[in-house]
Amino acid sequence: MAIPGIKLNDNVSIPQIGLGTWQIKDESKCLETIKIGLEDGYRHFDTAQIYGNEQFIGRALKDSGISRGDLFITTKIWTLNFLSSRVIPSFDASLTKLQTDYVDLLLLHFPVPKLRHSAWKKMEEIQDSGRAKSIGVSNYTIKHLQRLLRDCRIKPSVNQVELHVFLQQPELLEYCKAEGIIVEAYSPLAHSYGLDNPILAKIAKKHSKSTAQIMLRWCVEVDTVPLPKSTTPERIAENIDIFDFKLDKEDMVELRGLDSNHRTCWDPTRIP
């Protein structure tokens, strides 16, 4: 099944599902996970400097023999590298680890107070150089985005945030849509919280899918890009098998009711 793509505001096309790699630190586990992901059809891989696995992902992708142009690689600048003098050198180190001369998408990992504005200027320089085809942010709230949009030269293409049926963030989605920023959903399975929820189970039965697949399909229905993480071969395959069915209006209304502001990760809402 072909994976649909979404056009970002800079014309870069992003596959509408990516393999999340947070917490996959073990070398052989990481190599194996990427290999299985490629066999199952994933071409979009999401890593970060802080994940400690860029070098394994770089090796697995190189070893696969798949042409670079058919892959979509994202990494993120870690907060300790937000100083103006560190953004570009740390990015160079990421490229070396990833064994590539460009990434498809480079993100600022978190809205670090004060430093994030000068760090963004360095991101713009990186995009100008062609070494990141697209640049964006992660964990930004509406307030952080408004501030960035006021004085950026290049608009972020993406905001990667925690998003799932239990944390739907409709205002953020609406704001990003209006500004032409695509939302990527990390922890789209809420770290497996709620997979036994009866409403999810009912909808899953109706479509002959799993509850995890319903959670991931919801992300697609709201025009976001889910980044599920798994190291279990059957689940890696299950998670990408979400493009042969659609949720209907009634399903979406029922799923709307699951929103409970349930965060499994960072809460950036109090960051000034």
Active-site annotation, residues:
51
What six digits make up the tokens of 90?
Answer: 């740390």
Output the smallest distance, CB 192 to ligand A2P, in A.
Answer: 4
Output the smallest distance, CB 162 to ligand A2P, in A.
Answer: 8
Per the CB < 8 A criterion, the answer to whether 189 and 212 are in contact is yes
Q: Smaller CB distance to ligand A2P: residue 119 or 190?
A: 190
Q: ∠ CA 240-243-245 to the nearest 5 degrees?
A: 130
Q: Smaller CB distance to ligand A2P: residue 10 or 32?
A: 32
Stretch 238-267 residues interacting with ligand A2P (CB under 6 A): 238-239
Stretch 191-210 residues interacting with ligand A2P (CB under 6 A): 191-192, 195
Q: Smaller CB distance to ligand A2P: residue 146 or 232?
A: 232
Q: ∠ CA 59-60-65 to the nearest 5 degrees?
A: 100
| Residue 228 binds ligand A2P (CB under 6 A) | yes
> Residue 236 is which amino acid?
I
| DSSP-assigned beta bridge partners for residue 44 | 72
| Residue 229 binds ligand A2P (CB under 6 A) | yes
Q: Which stretch binds ligand A2P (CB under 6 A): 83-91, 217-225, 230-238, 243-251?
A: 230-238
Closest CA to 219 of 165, 266, 148: 165
Output the smallest distance, CB 197 to ligand A2P, in A.
Answer: 13
CA distance 30 to 100: 18
Q: Of 135, 190, 200, 220, which lies in the binding site for ligand A2P, with binding defined by CB under 6 A?
A: 190
Q: Of 12, 34, 172, 189, which lies in the binding site for ligand A2P, with binding defined by CB under 6 A?
A: 189
Residues near 26 by beta carbon (within 8 Å), at least 6 away in sequence = none
List of long-range contacts for 173-180, beta carbons under 8 Å, 24+ apart: 173/222, 173/223, 173/224, 175/142, 175/145, 176/145, 177/223, 179/145, 179/149, 179/155, 180/9, 180/155
Output the smallest distance, CB 31 to ligand A2P, in A.
Answer: 15
Would you tell me which residues interact with ligand A2P (CB under 6 A)? Answer: 20, 187-192, 195, 212, 228-232, 235, 238-239
